[in-house]
Amino acid sequence: MRYTPLSAATYREHRARFRSGMEKGGLALFHSNDIMPTSADGTMPFKQATDIMYLTGIDQEESVLLLFPDTMDPKDREILFVRETNEHIAIWEGHKFSKEEATELSGIANVQWTSAYEATLKRLVPQCESLYLNSNEHLRQGNEVETRTERMNKSVRAQFPLHNVKRSAPILHRIRSVKTAEEVAQMRKAVAITGKAFERVCSFLKPGVMEYAVEAEITHEFLRNGSRGHAYTPIIASGYSACVLHYIDNDKPCKDGDVILMDFGCEYGGYASDLTRCLPVSGKFTKRQREVYNAVLNVKNEATKLLRPGTMLAEYHKEVGKLMESELIGLGLLDKTDVKNQNPDAPLYKKYFMHGTSHFIGLDVHDVGLWNEPIREGMCFTVEPGIYIREESLGIRLENDIVVTKDGQDDLFKDIPVEAEAVEELMNSKKLVA
């Protein structure tokens, strides 16, 4: 295993949080992801379903978690099913969890082979009052591929059509959004590796370097520090490409006089980091570039202060919009009178800042959370305002990850340079050979 997992005590705490949201008599099921095919006999790298990862730490295919808190036999209250290995699997695929290893990692005493799942289900479901089935209810999800969870949900509903079905997702969205101390510590490890990659790029970047070469430097730093790679597809966008919000081609040269926008973050132990920095390819910002850069930095700094316990995210984003309006007026991009007379449902700042400022972050880079409830201590968010001026081929976005504390915020990227002068100094201190 490349990474140090969380402790069994933390996974026990996560399951206790979930059980506290269940109604009496409920039985909950959670499934791992499939190994997804490519073509011929190829497959994509395995990525565990984040809900079962959150509840067990088991980063392996064909795993199932069953929670039945109110069953009579204590042994049946938590059951973990893992794939049984054999000599053939060991030779061709390598190590799989033994029952003892799965217990040590997850803190679940009753570990069975996945082959025992169906018989156990038929034995226990008749005893329960309702079935808690999981599903992907993320606001942005639009999956056209049937997941293992969806396939197994269909099977359970066909076998037990008269049982009442309840949703696990609302419970998970509430409990996963508030991080435990160990989760924050794991995110700090991801942040630290991402910071190393940023410093490496600052020493590497110069006119003529290809965007994909910058991406390669980042990937190198991730892998050599124990990360499995990027938490999401990186954006390495120079010049006009920085005005394309989800630009991922990363195939153009970095030209003298341009600014390169880099949105990247490593994954460590399943947890994501998410950083955006902008660098002048030449090593020094022009006067206009610095003005826009500092405007974005001002919005980021002030927006961070607004993320406090009790704040509603909808109101937060409205306040950030006002901050951005002021900066855009100062840059000469918006007219003060036009802003005063604008349609409040179509604010003018959206021409230059068309995305949200913050999203939950954790096991998923766009993590789950309840947007209709107030911010709570322990929640983790990105803060990422941007200004995109297509007619100037200039896009600036700056992004840090923060933990909401009792009295304010803990900026996980606070030690990573972000002020224009500090970035220029870092770029010109020592150069790697491209």
Tens of pLDDT along 150-190?
A: 999 999 999 999 999 999 999 999 999 999 999 999 999 99
Predicted local distance difference test score (pLDDT) of residue 143:
78
Does residue 388 lie within any of the structural domains?
yes
For residue 112, give the CATH number of its domain.
3.40.350.10
Query: What span, in angstroms and rounded, lies between the C-alpha atoms of 115 and 51?
Result: 21
Query: What span, in angstroms and rounded, lies between the C-alpha atoms of 351 and 387?
Result: 9
Is 220 known to be catalytic?
A: no
100 and 73 share one domain: yes
Is 31 known to be catalytic?
A: no
Q: 35-39, 374-378, 381-385: which range is least confident on average?
A: 35-39
272 and 381 share one domain: yes
For residue 186, give the CATH number of its domain.
3.90.230.10
157 and 199 share one domain: no
Q: Which of 263, 364, 367, 424 is catalytic?
A: 263
Average pLDDT over residues 316-343: 97
Does residue 1 lie within any of the structural domains?
no
Q: Which of 138, 228, 308, 366 is catalytic?
A: 366
User: Tell me: the pLDDT tens digits for 400-429?
Assistant: 999 999 999 999 999 999 999 999 999 998
Structure tokens at 267: 């994954």
Helix (H) or strand (E) holding 190: helix 181-204
Which of 176, 211, 242 terminates a domain? The answer is 176
277 and 408 share one domain: yes
Examine the pLDDT at 343 and tell me if it is beyond 60.
yes
Q: Which of 61, 215, 258, 274 is catalytic?
A: 274
- 341: three-class secondary structure by DSSP: coil
Does residue 3 lie within any of the structural domains?
no
Does residue 267 lie within any of the structural domains?
yes
150 and 227 share one domain: no
Q: Which of 15, 76, 388, 424 is catalytic?
A: 388
Are the beta carbons of 278 and 262 closer than 8 angstroms? Answer: yes
User: Tell me: the pLDDT tens digits for 273-328?
Assistant: 999 999 999 999 999 999 999 999 999 999 999 999 999 999 999 999 999 999 99
160 and 229 share one domain: no
338 and 422 share one domain: yes
Is 274 known to be catalytic?
A: yes
Which of 176, 211, 240 terminates a domain? The answer is 176
Predicted local distance difference test score (pLDDT) of residue 432:
57
What is the DSSP secondary-structure string of 211-264? HHHHHHHHHHHHHHTT--EESS--EEEEGGGGGSTT-----SB--TT-EEEEEE
What value does the mean pLDDT of the chain take?
96
Is 34 known to be catalytic?
A: no
Average pLDDT over residues 221-226: 96
Is 290 known to be catalytic?
A: no
Does residue 13 lie within any of the structural domains?
yes
Examine the pLDDT at 434 and tell me if it is beyond 70.
no
Which of 161, 176, 191 terminates a domain? The answer is 176
Structure tokens at 218: 């980042």
Is 138 known to be catalytic?
A: no
Does residue 264 lie within any of the structural domains?
yes
99 and 54 share one domain: yes
Predicted local distance difference test score (pLDDT) of residue 431:
61
236 and 158 share one domain: no
Are the beta carbons of 118 and 13 closer than 8 angstroms? Answer: no
Q: Cβ of 18: how many Cβ atoms within 10 Å?
A: 24
Is 263 known to be catalytic?
A: yes
Which residues on adjacent β-strands are paired with residue 29?
A: 66, 133
Is 163 known to be catalytic?
A: no
The share of the chain scoring above pLDDT 90, in percent, equals: 93
Which residues on adjacent β-strands are paired with residue 210?
A: 253
Average pLDDT over residues 137-150: 87
Q: Which of 41, 87, 100, 345 is catalytic?
A: 41
Strands of the 229-230 sheet, one edge to the other = 229-230, 266-268, 271-272
* Rg, C-alpha atoms of the chain: 24
Query: Looking at the 3D structure of the chain, how many domains does it have?
Result: 2
Are the beta carbons of 327 and 298 closer than 8 angstroms? Answer: yes
Q: Which of 359, 367, 401, 424 is catalytic?
A: 359
Give the contacts of 139 (CB within 8 A, at least 6 positions apart): 371
Are the beta carbons of 96 and 89 closer than 8 angstroms? Answer: yes
Is 359 known to be catalytic?
A: yes
Examine the pLDDT at 18 and tell me if it is beyond 60.
yes
User: Tell me: the pLDDT tens digits for 203-214?
Assistant: 999 999 999 999
Query: What span, in angstroms and rounded, lies between the C-alpha atoms of 81 and 103?
Result: 11
Q: Residue 12's domain spans which residues?
A: 8-176
380 and 319 share one domain: yes
Q: Which of 76, 217, 399, 401 is catalytic?
A: 399
Confidence of residue 142 (pLDDT cuts 50, 70, 90): confident
161 and 208 share one domain: no
Q: Which of 123, 220, 355, 390 is catalytic?
A: 355
Does residue 433 lie within any of the structural domains?
no
327 and 302 share one domain: yes
Does residue 2 lie within any of the structural domains?
no
Altogether, the residues listed in the chain come to a count of 434
Are the beta carbons of 167 and 132 closer than 8 angstroms? Answer: yes
